[in-house]
């Protein structure tokens, strides 16, 4: 890991109630501080080749709050 880039806590994200009904937006900082429900996505793909398992992970956008570089 070469470095970490930290983006603004003011990024606005969509928030939901526990029934996944849209209730508005909040800053990323507020959503995490208050434990508000918000969308997220993780995609892990795999392949099996000659009895070896290979995992492929998504790369987080460099525009997001925390972005790890290699």
Residue 43's pLDDT is what?
Answer: 78
Q: Facing residues of 25 across strands?
A: 14
Q: In this predicted structure, what is the pLDDT of residue 57?
A: 81
In whole angstroms, give the CA distance from residue 63 to residue 51: 37
Q: How far apart are CA 13 and CA 31, in angstroms?
A: 8
pLDDT for position 48? 95
Tell me the mean pLDDT per 10 residues along the chain, length 70. Answer: 52 92 93 91 87 87 64
Read off the pTM.
0.51
Instruction: Give the per-residue pLDDT at 4.
Output: 46
- The number of CA neighbours under 13 Å toward the Cβ of 40 is 9
């Amino acid at each position: 890991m070469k470095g970490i880039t930290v983006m603004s806590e003011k990024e606005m994200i969509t928030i939901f109630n526990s029934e996944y009904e849209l209730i508005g937006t909040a800053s990323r900082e507020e959503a995490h501080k208050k434990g508000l429900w918000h969308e997220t996505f993780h995609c892990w793909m795999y392949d099996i080749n000659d009895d070896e398992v290979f995992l492929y992970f998504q790369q987080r956008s460099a525009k997001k709050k925390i972005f790890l570089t290699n």
